[in-house]
Chains A and B, each alone.
Chain A
Amino acid sequence: MQREVGSLPLAPALRARLVAAGFQTAQELLETGPCGLSKEIGISKEEALEALQVVRQACHGEAARTAGASGATRKCTALELLEEEQAQGFIITFCSALDNILGGGVQLTKITEICGAPGVGKTQLCMQLAVDVQIPECFGGVAGEAVFIDTEGSFMVDRVVDIATACVQHCQLIAEAHQEEDHLKALETFSLESILSHIYYFRCRDYIELLAQVYLLPDFLSEHSKVRLVVVDGIAFPFRHDFEDLSLRTRLLNGLAQQLIIIANDHKSAVVLTNQMTTRIGQSQSTLVPALGESWGHAATVRLIFHWDNSQRLATLYKSPSQKESTIPYHITSHGFRDVQPPAVTQNAEDTEMNPRKRPRREEET
């Protein structure tokens, strides 16, 4: 296993010293041992020991992979991935049109970005998703918990109470209509209190707190392994004010994006980010574009843009690896994020995304 010293995750100063002393491969480092190493480079024995630990981990990580251990590796064939993807659930949004264009709902293990002008409903959708992720599996949900990282302070608990109450009612109606045992059993644990207690809320006031929170999130998630949704409401806000060094901002944002992808992948959870819009002034006209620049556009796998058309709210799927670009209208009611109801049809449409094969005969009010 001839790992080059330059490719090991060591501190740059240490690496420079190692290369200057003539070490080329990890093998040589391991053979020299901590005492020899500390004498050669002029570092303390503890530092040498630490460095060798890192080297050993990197090399043995490889050895474990070549031996076929599957735990930490992320290697598989496309066929296995396909099976995994199809077995994965989606987080529904209660708006069947939006679920359709997303291919079933918000996907797990991917980053979804929602961009929109202020007031168009991004935070509403985030709160709806934080409730929807907890829907039990027998009703078509993923039965997970949610982490909500708030940077703008727009999280309103009373609104979440409204949304959660409506969701619980919805499930109760379905359970009554079908009278299946697992439905009723699930309903015992699915109540307003349990929903609220499973939303973990973090408030970050500036970008340093946000970065720290995201980098500390893996530890939190390993303790709370049922989390299936991480929402960062307002990723643009801390990075747009008083940031003089734009290259630093790009670096930090890219590092953040990679960390979020790792979280989404390792913990099989969906990551939802909301972004603001900014104006790009062109030659003859100005247009609204998502904030944070071009390079940020590459971070998210799925991108939704919410915008207004007179007084109708529209959602456009702008970027997706497997779905076509399309636009649908949606509605925000007192119960949360919903479809736009065509005026003549009754309100049965809302139940279909829960259990598409069976239509409850009961009507419900909006």
Chain B
Amino acid sequence: AAWVASPQLRGRAVAFAARVGEDPGQDGARSPLPAPPQVSSLLPAPRCSGPGLARAMVVLRAGLCPGLTEEMIQLLRANGIRTDLASNFLSLMLFAVVDFVSSDLEDVAQKCSLSYKALVAVRRVLLAQFSAFPANGADLYEELKSSTAILPTGSPSLDQLLDSGLYTGEVTELMGAPGSGKTQVSGTEEGRGQVCLSIAASVSLGLKQHVVFLDSTGGFTASRLYQMLRSRAEDEEELASSPGAVQWSQRCSWGGGKCGGNKGPWLHGMLEALQRVQVVRVFDIYEVLSALQELRDRLSQQVMSSMGPLKIVVIDSVSAVIYPLLGGKQSEGLAIMMQLARELKTLAREFSLAVVVTNQVTRDSSTGPLKPALGRSWSFVPSTRVLLESKEATWEKATTQRVASLAKSPRQPTGIQVELDTGNGDVQEPSPVTPTQGL
């Protein structure tokens, strides 16, 4: 039988193992029940000894699996069940699953006067719960086909670079670089932010899906998102009246959700699109982690009241929150960074989301070559990396020409470059009328 590593199937495996364990066909406590071949053949090799084992421990608690009651645990503890492996620890009041699973159950049954059958059943269930199941390639392919979606980014050239769009279940990284040649300053800081906004706009308006935007730099400007949505909507639908006739009174249009009759239907579409983008401002790595945790809780409980179908999470930017922790002699920064990486990847994989993160580009010294920030460890995290550059722009000229190149991809050859079309939703000329009118 092929076991697929998905939560639902695993639950069924646990239930199956529990049922087999309670088979009343056996008598006597001496002869061990034959474990179902699938489970025992999947017994992980003894993980390791010594300090490595310490980290693989999980505390044995009542309710961890059916059959593991509080009295059983007290009995086990009271008899000081230890094995050689456990003797490395300072004090063992607590008891680990690994200890239990690798100990001699006959011995344990004798010492604690617990039923051998019950112990074997508990062990079987624990193994099923904590082991990893291998997956059949064909099943994996089927699962991927049914759960993966490709989200267009709103910019056809970028889609071309990404092999038709953002893949769910993967982490994609956008890096903003200073321009080559004469440019000194990162002119595409806004470029990176703009691409994120345009992705959010396209997913929200075009696909009518929800977007979660984690903003860690304070650079999310709703009015710019609105501009992009508007130009996108204007492209898609032809306005009956000229744009000048639609009066945008800034305060009362959306104040109570009322709007006049002469505004086109695209206004409603845009308001809804704006409501589908949820912005969370997180300025600290712990806030990012707790926001992701909360998102995961909400998704797993499937409470979709205000959150519709979520397919994409954008984090702008990941380097801003990790940079203060990296470097120096402390290794905590790397640990936290890897924790974040793990969160992002499991979020992407388990809930079939496309996770987009942004990063920056730095130099080693003032004349060294450019390299992505956050180092080599982070480079393994995203499966696709796109570098955004601004060619031939200085702060004396106003022209910017944005080029995106593929730095890492599982599907396309690296090094291909495209020019980003900024025609859609370009920044407007500063209005000469009043200073408060920025739209």
> Interface on A for B, CB 8 Å cutoff?
1-4, 6-9, 12, 15, 19-24, 28, 31, 36, 39-40, 42, 58, 61-62, 65-66, 73-79, 81-87, 90, 92, 96, 99-101, 103-105, 109-111, 247-248, 250-252, 254-255, 257-258, 261-262, 264-265, 280-282, 287-290, 293-295, 297-299, 301, 303, 305, 316, 318-327, 353, 356
Contact = CB atoms under 8 A, between A and B. Distances in A.
B54 A22 contact: yes
A281 B366 CA distance: 9
B375 to A, nearest CB: 11
B286 A353 contact: no
Given A19-B55, A79-B274, A100 B435 contact: yes
B286 A262 contact: no
B330 A12 contact: yes
B270 to A, nearest CB: 9
Contact of B278 (A28, A76, A258): A76
A321 B328 contact: no
Contacts of B436: 90, 104
Q: Which of B216, B221, B224, B361 has the most CB of A within 10 A?
A: B221
A37 B141 CA distance: 45
A42 B58 CA distance: 19
B185 A290 contact: yes
Interface in B202-239: 213, 216-227
Contacts of A87: 251
A58 B286 contact: yes
A74 B218 contact: no
A243 to B, nearest CB: 14
Contacts of B250: 86
Contact of B438 (A7, A31, A76, A323): A323
A61 to B, nearest CB: 7
B254 A83 contact: yes
Given A100-B432, A104-B435, A327-B398, 20 more contacts: A4-B293, A6-B339, A7-B339, A19-B55, A36-B93, A78-B222, A78-B277, A79-B254, A100-B430, A103-B435, A252-B324, A257-B320, A258-B216, A281-B367, A289-B185, A294-B178, A294-B186, A294-B360, A301-B217, A319-B185
B345 to A, nearest CB: 14
19 contacts: A7-B336, A22-B55, A22-B59, A62-B294, A66-B297, A75-B281, A78-B277, A78-B279, A79-B274, A83-B254, A99-B435, A247-B327, A248-B327, A255-B324, A280-B184, A280-B366, A287-B182, A298-B320, A324-B427
B302 interface: no
Contacts of A298: 176, 186, 189, 217, 317, 319-320, 360
Interface residues of B, number: 102
A61 B429 contact: no
Given A24-B58, A82-B222, A111-B218, A318 B286 contact: no
A20 B190 contact: no
B284 interface: yes
A261 B427 contact: no
A295 B133 CA distance: 43
A293 B93 CA distance: 53
Contacts of A282: 182
A237 B282 CA distance: 29
A257 to B, nearest CB: 7
B435 to A, nearest CB: 4
A265 to B, nearest CB: 6
Contacts of A255: 324
A322 B294 contact: no
A324 B428 contact: yes
Contacts of A24: 58-59
Contact of A3 (B58, B220, B293, B326): B293
